Amino acid sequence: MTGNLAGANTSPDLIQLTLTINGTRHALKLDPRTTLLDLLREHLDLTGTKKGCDQGQCGACTILVDGRRINSCLTFAVMYEGAQITTIEGLARDGNLHPLQQVFIDHDAFQCGYCTPGQICSAVGLMAEDRARTAEEIRELMSGNICRCGAYTNIVAAIQQAMGRS
Partner 1 sequence: MINFEYARAGDVADALRLIADDSAAKFVAGGTNLIDLMKMDVERPRKVIDINRLPLNQIENTPNGGLRIGALVRNTDLAYHPLVEQRYPVLASAIMAGASQQLRNVASTGGNLLQRTRCHYFYDTATPCNKREPGSGCSAIHGHNRMHAILGASEACIAVHPSDMCVALAILEAKVHVTGASGDRVIAFADFHRLPGNTPQRDTNLNASEIITAVELPPQGFSKNYTYLKIRDRLSYAFALVSVAVGLELDGETIKEACFALGGVAHRPWRDRQAEAALNGQPANAATFARAADALLSDAKGYEHNRFKIDLARRCLVRALTQAAHGTPQLQSFKKIM
Q: Interface residues with partner 1 (CB under 8 A)?
A: 1-5, 7-13, 15, 31-33, 35, 54-56, 59, 62, 68-71, 74-76, 78-79, 81, 122, 125-126, 129, 131, 134, 136-137, 139-145
| Smallest distance, partner 1 to C-beta of residue 115, A | 13
CA distance 58 to 143: 9
In three-state secondary structure terms, 160 is helix
Which CB, 8 or 27, lies closer to partner 1?
Answer: 8
Closest CB to partner 1 among 8 and 95?
Answer: 8
What are the C-alpha distances in Å from 99 to residues 66, 120, 125, 141, 153?
19, 10, 13, 19, 18
Closest approach of Cβ 2 to partner 1, in Å?
6
Contacts of 20 (CB under 8 A, 6+ apart): 26, 83, 84, 85
Closer Cβ to partner 1, 95 or 120, answer by number: 120
